[in-house]
Amino acid sequence: MPAERFVRALREAGWATLVVAGLSFPIIAYRAEPDFNNLLALQPRWPLFWQFCAAAFLLRFLLAFWSGDETKAKAPREKNWPKLPWLGPLALVFLTIYPLAVVALLGPQAALKWVDTYGVQILIYVLLGWGLNITVGLAGLLDLGYAAFYAVGAYAYALLAPATGLGFWALLPVCGLLAAFWGFCIGFPILRLRGDYLAIVTLAFAEIVRIVLINWDVVTHGEAGLFGFPGLNFFGLPFIPGPRGFAAHFGLPFQGIQKQIFLYYLVLVLALLANLVSLRLRRLPLGRAWEALREDEIACRALGLDTRNIKLTAFALGAFFAGIAGCLFALRQGFVSPSAFTFSESALILAIVVLGGGGSQLGVAVAAVFLVGASELLRELTFLKSVFGENFDPAQYRMLLVGLAMVAMMNFRPRGLVSTRAPTIKLGATS
């Protein structure tokens, strides 16, 4: 019945427009700005308000008109991905040759951005995603303050490297262990909490860490952050021009990108190691206990599992990975400050895990590439300035992208990119 459908779509669009009007009235119709006397002056923006309402009406109408009968129940339309056993090895080969290929194609100057921002940065987020996946995806403990452990790792390196004179090879595990220690500490008070309550406490913990970093001026230099700590070196050879540097030792011309390429491979190896450890742990009693805890805590206790230890190890190991990632972050930036470890950072890492589908390594990696890579790609869209004017900054729309990804996910794959769970042990009994 097209007429009936038309009327229903019209009605739905009307309601949607009312909601949009109600929501946007206080924020869009008037804008409060301080005037010359520093008093707030209201600046009416009614045309913009009407544009918003019109857009909402039109979009909602079209959606309701074309999407058909909403009242009928729909069968779940989630499909399994085809099995692609070659995908892993192919990705590995690609990741191995990627920095060299980029340098060969673009030259050492232009390739820097592609190796550093798109390579190292995304890989650090993959590592973070895999770490948080242990806590959230496997053990089912919702952690909204993961950036705190990331911060502990980064500050541990930035503070300990100049103070102890140790190289990053020695400090890398120290950063991980310190973060794991804090994971252990936060784990204790929240052992008896579940679900939302647990999430709130982890959120608060992350804020405590951030505020301590801001206010403990003597040690952390507050908002200004720490810099000038020793950077990366190649087994004792620093990446500097001159006879004592890495380039001279191997008879190569000095290029700034050599350090980034080495960092890239370092992060890649560590991420793969983390992946290997979590994949193997899943098949061990500890990993199975994590998943059992996610499924049913009471049943765990009835089987003699000590849920306290299971929760603590899940928190500590997840935090360990974050500490390692934090150390690598400090090496990449050469500068750490509290502004890098805000709640939005925790939210982004959590979004990676949720989008990837809790429990799946590949899904998390793909989600990290998508969310971090796409928001970086936004910066490249400078041509949009010719459309929207000189003041348009596409990078400002990063969070919009995360939001869109989440909405799309809820619509099409509500349980994440990879939602199927492979048993950790198979009998393969078909007869």
Q: Which residues bind other proteins (CB under 8 A)?
A: 277, 280-281, 283-286, 288-289, 291-292, 295-296, 298-307, 421, 423-431
Residue (333 or 419) nearer to other proteins, CB: 419
d(CA 214, CA 224): 9
- Nearest approach in angstroms of CB 3 to other proteins is 45
Measured over the CA atoms of residue 341, residue 342, residue 345 and residue 346, the dihedral's sign is positive
Residue (284 or 410) nearer to other proteins, CB: 284
d(CA 295, CA 243): 59
Residue (391 or 431) nearer to other proteins, CB: 431
Residue (111 or 289) nearer to other proteins, CB: 289
- Nearest approach in angstroms of CB 317 to other proteins is 10
Between vectors from CA 257 to CA 253 and to CA 261, what angle results, nearest 5°?
110
- Nearest approach in angstroms of CB 141 to other proteins is 16
- For residue 335, what are its two tokens? 């500068």
- Nearest approach in angstroms of CB 274 to other proteins is 13
Residue (163 or 298) nearer to other proteins, CB: 298
- For residue 266, what are its two tokens? 């370092």
- Nearest approach in angstroms of CB 403 to other proteins is 28
- Nearest approach in angstroms of CB 298 to other proteins is 6
Q: What share of the chain is helix, strand, coil (3-state, %, to 5)?
A: 70, 5, 25
Residue with tokens 């750490």, as numbered in its chain:
336
Residue (257 or 293) nearer to other proteins, CB: 293
Q: Could you give phi then psi for residue 232, rounded to 5 degrees?
A: -75, 145
Instruction: Reduce the DSSP state of residue 31 to 3 states and report it.
Output: strand
Residue (76 or 423) nearer to other proteins, CB: 423
- For residue 23, what are its two tokens? 């929501």
Residue (12 or 291) nearer to other proteins, CB: 291
Residue (1 or 425) nearer to other proteins, CB: 425
* CB-based contact 145:204 (threshold 8 Å): yes
The closest alpha carbon to 127, from 354, 349, 402, belongs to 349
- Nearest approach in angstroms of CB 423 to other proteins is 4
d(CA 25, CA 258): 54
DSSP notation for 59-99: HHHHHHHHS--SSS-------PPPP-TTHHHHHHHHHHHHH
- Nearest approach in angstroms of CB 188 to other proteins is 16
- Nearest approach in angstroms of CB 281 to other proteins is 6
Which amino acid is it at 93?
Answer: V
Distances (CA, A) of 244 to 14, 100, 260, 298: 72, 24, 18, 61
Residue with tokens 């799946």, as numbered in its chain:
360
d(CA 391, CA 178): 44
DSSP state of 83: P
